[in-house]
Amino acid sequence: MEKLIITAAICGAEVTKEHNPNIPYTVREIGIEAEKAFLAGASIIHLHVREDDGTPTQDQKRFQACVDEIKGRCPDVIVQPSTGGAIGMSNEERLQPIFMNPHPEMATLDCGTMNFGGDEIFINTENTIINFAKEMNSRGIKPELECFDKGMIDMALRLNKKGYIKEPMHFNFVLGVIGGITATPRDLLYMVNSIPKSSTFTICAIGRHEFPMITMSIALGGHARVGFEDNIYLSKGVLAKSNSELVEKVVRISKELGRDIASPYEARKILTLG
């Protein structure tokens, strides 16, 4: 079985210091959290950025400053910016991180529209997905295909047949989000069995579902994403002090199940980056 790639989603766009005071906002805080996660075993840093007051932003200069800070601390790590941004942002805003210099090796590509609860709708039309894919392809950026439900896998496969999404594909199955597929073993297996054998996949699950779903992914040969974006607790009622504590827990689980942890170099080979 391949070595396990661990992605650390270190801050997200929604969770705040009111939820957990250890959420990073500033460039320095983001750099420190990324470095700690890398040293604990993460090969990929999934990156949202914030203003110093915690406001989510897709500003290219802010992303550049954060990436430069991260790379100054851990040059080998793969930085994967989000093009999801936050609810209400325009497509032009959301795409800004892919224009950094140099271009990122990977970026997220959301594969469908989501009802996030209440009146919050995360809009990704077919034309949006195609345009984002074209922009990434033109810059040699590998998309991580964010799928919150089976229909999003079908969209990705259809756009693959049309040539917009290239093979081998890499999926991130997001489980347990309001409006998306539930975080159950049945549904995880359904998602995994719906993608081509040549594809790779990562699992992230929200809150208390995080570690059970990741454990199942490890056993199935998939990969793992943890971090404050998805879950702020190390165990029931115990706030994590750092993203690195969440990464360390995945490392322990993976080693118990007999899988070694991939370095960034090994992750690049597994994901066919570059």
3-class DSSP state of 49? strand
* pLDDT of 117: 86
* pLDDT of 1: 87
Phi first, then psi, for residue 108 (nearest 5°) are: -80, 150
Q: Cα angle vertex 124, ends 121, 125, to 5°?
A: 120
- Cα distance between residue 214 and residue 207, in whole Å: 12
| Average pLDDT score over residue span 145-164 | 98
Q: What confidence tens digit (pLDDT) does each residue in 78-128 have?
A: 999 999 998 889 999 999 999 999 999 999 999 999 998 889 999 999 999
Residue type, 147: C
Give the global pTM: 0.97
Instruction: List for the chain the helix, strand, coil content (%; round to 5).
Output: 40, 20, 40
Q: What confidence tens digit (pLDDT) does each residue in 18-75 have?
A: 999 999 999 999 999 999 999 999 999 999 999 999 999 999 999 999 999 999 999 9
Q: What is the mean pLDDT of the chain?
A: 97
Beta bridge partners of 108: 144
Confidence of residue 172 (pLDDT cuts 50, 70, 90): very high
Q: What confidence tens digit (pLDDT) does each residue in 223-258 have?
A: 999 999 999 999 999 999 999 999 999 999 999 999
Q: Nearest-CA neighbor of 168 among 132, 133, 196?
A: 196
Q: How many residues does the chain have?
A: 274
* pLDDT of 274: 75
* pLDDT of 190: 98
Provide the CATH number for the domain formed by 6-270 in this structure.
3.20.20.70
- Cα distance between residue 148 and residue 125, in whole Å: 15
Exposure string over 76-102, b if 16+ CB within 10 A, otherwise e = ebbbbbbbbbbeebebebbbbbbebee
Residue holding tokens 């430069």?
68
- Give 3's DSSP letter: P
